[in-house]
Amino acid sequence: MPMGGNEGNVRWMKVGVLALQGAFREHAAALKRCGCEVVEVRKPINIEGIDALVIPGGESTTIGKLLGDYGLIEPILAKACYGLPIFGTCAGAIILARDIAGSDQPHLGLIDIMVQRNAYGRQVDSFEVDLEIPVLGKEPFAAVFIRAPLIKETRPGVEVLAHYKDGIVLARQGNVLVSTFHPELTSDLRLHRYFLNMVAGSVKQER
């Protein structure tokens, strides 16, 4: 089984969910269903003691601005340097990208990808597709895209985990995972569990 059967091993994990704007409640609910403790992150102090961080979808310009206003950029970058696992979905993926095509909006730049915002056009602004995601097993994953970005380029070191048509929609570099879709909006917990497995693996490496 690609998931490694680590599900019983998440109770000790304290996972921060950036709760400035966007779909943070849905991520918190999905993570709680996986069995870990969830902390809503709004201030630098909330980052103390977390084992991982989720950056939700929403509006990346707003999230980026609020990250700056609330003094969260430096503390997150500092933790990321020490290997904090971070999962960004949709706007969260934009915030984590090294480069955002045609934009100099504030972001964290923690994964070597270039993203294009709103890549599917304004008319088709939301849709659901069954994606093949080999690391999650054979069963397709129902992926919800909402005004989604596209990962247009990846640099060496970035592992591409799923495509939709010509574009990359799920990628990982070390402890950073990004999806351009919203796994928190369906009841399928496999991608959250995959991330929690990364968290378990990263702690093992540190020890």
User: Which residues are known catalytic residues?
Assistant: 90, 182, 184
SS3 61: helix
Residue 155: HSE in the Cβ half-sphere, 13 Å Cα cutoff: 10
Closest distance of CB 126 from ligand GLN, Å = 8
CB–CB of 30/194 below 8 Å?
A: no
Instruction: Report the DSSP beta bridge partners of residue 162.
Output: 170
Backbone torsion region of residue 160, taken as left when φ is above 0, otherwise alpha when ψ lies between -120 and 50, otherwise beta: beta
Q: Is 48 exposed, middle or buried, given 0-12, 13-18 or 19+ CB atoms closer than 10 A?
A: exposed
Question: Which residue's CB is nearer to ligand GLN, number 30 or number 90?
Answer: 90
Closest distance of CB 4 from ligand GLN, Å = 29
Closest distance of CB 202 from ligand GLN, Å = 25
Question: Which residue's CB is nearer to ligand GLN, number 3 or number 66?
Answer: 66
Contacting positions for ligand GLN (CB under 6 A):
57-60, 90-91, 94, 117-118, 146-147
Question: Which residue's CB is nearer to ligand GLN, number 90 or number 158?
Answer: 90
